[in-house]
Amino acid sequence: MATKKSKLSYDEGSIFTVKLRGDSIVIGIVSRKSHGSPGIVLSYFFLAATTDPYHEACQVERSSAILYIRVGDSQLINGNWPIIGRLPNWNRRCWPVPDFCRRNPILGTTYRVRLSDDNIEEVESEEAAPCSSDIPSFGVAGHKYVEEVLQMLVEERGNKIL
């Protein structure tokens, strides 16, 4: 029996929130989404300083993100990371796909990975190059990993907003 494909509840430019332990809230912005299933999103995350995360998200700049990462979309689909709106005047050129790093700890090598701007599942290039620790590893993270990393980043800042 064929099933009808449901419309996703998010798109590029969607704003969502992630509630962490200690009542901290992090704002997420979907920069890209995959074309396949299961869904993958490239998201940028920001500390929320106010009780109005939608208004705050409309003011953020990509460079102030505390994390960018590719993550499965299950939490967006099931509403655990609630979508609260969409960036007005969304322009994907202002949110380019960043580079990632593929690390081989056994050989001690690193590779800078560039993804397609139109398909975050497609590698455009990969070259041996040093990667700083702030460049996320190439791969797709699970939501629990992302929530733990965000919690750690919030705690490192002492729950103080930069």
In a domain, 88, yes or no: yes
- In this structure, the number of other CB atoms found within 10 A of the CB of residue 67 comes to 19
In a domain, 21, yes or no: yes
Residue 24 is classified by DSSP as -
Domain that holds residue 74: 14-96+136-156
In a domain, 131, yes or no: no
Domains held by the chain: number: 1
What is the per-residue pLDDT across 24-70, written as a single tens digit (0 to 9) for each? Answer: 899 999 999 988 766 899 999 998 877 788 888 888 888 899 999 99
Question: Token match 């709106």: residue?
Answer: 85
In a domain, 26, yes or no: yes
pTM, two decimals, is: 0.87
What is the per-residue pLDDT across 105-137, written as a single tens digit (0 to 9) for each? Answer: 899 899 999 999 999 999 999 999 888 877 888
In a domain, 31, yes or no: yes
In a domain, 108, yes or no: no
Strand order in the sheet with 83-86: 67-72, 40-47, 25-33, 14-19, 83-86
Nearest C-alpha neighbor of 66 from the set 18, 108, 9: 18
In a domain, 107, yes or no: no
In a domain, 118, yes or no: no
Query: Which tokens go with 143?
Result: 């939501």
What is the per-residue pLDDT across 95-110, written as a single tens digit (0 to 9) for each? Answer: 999 999 998 889 989 9
Is-contact 56 37, C-beta < 8 A? no
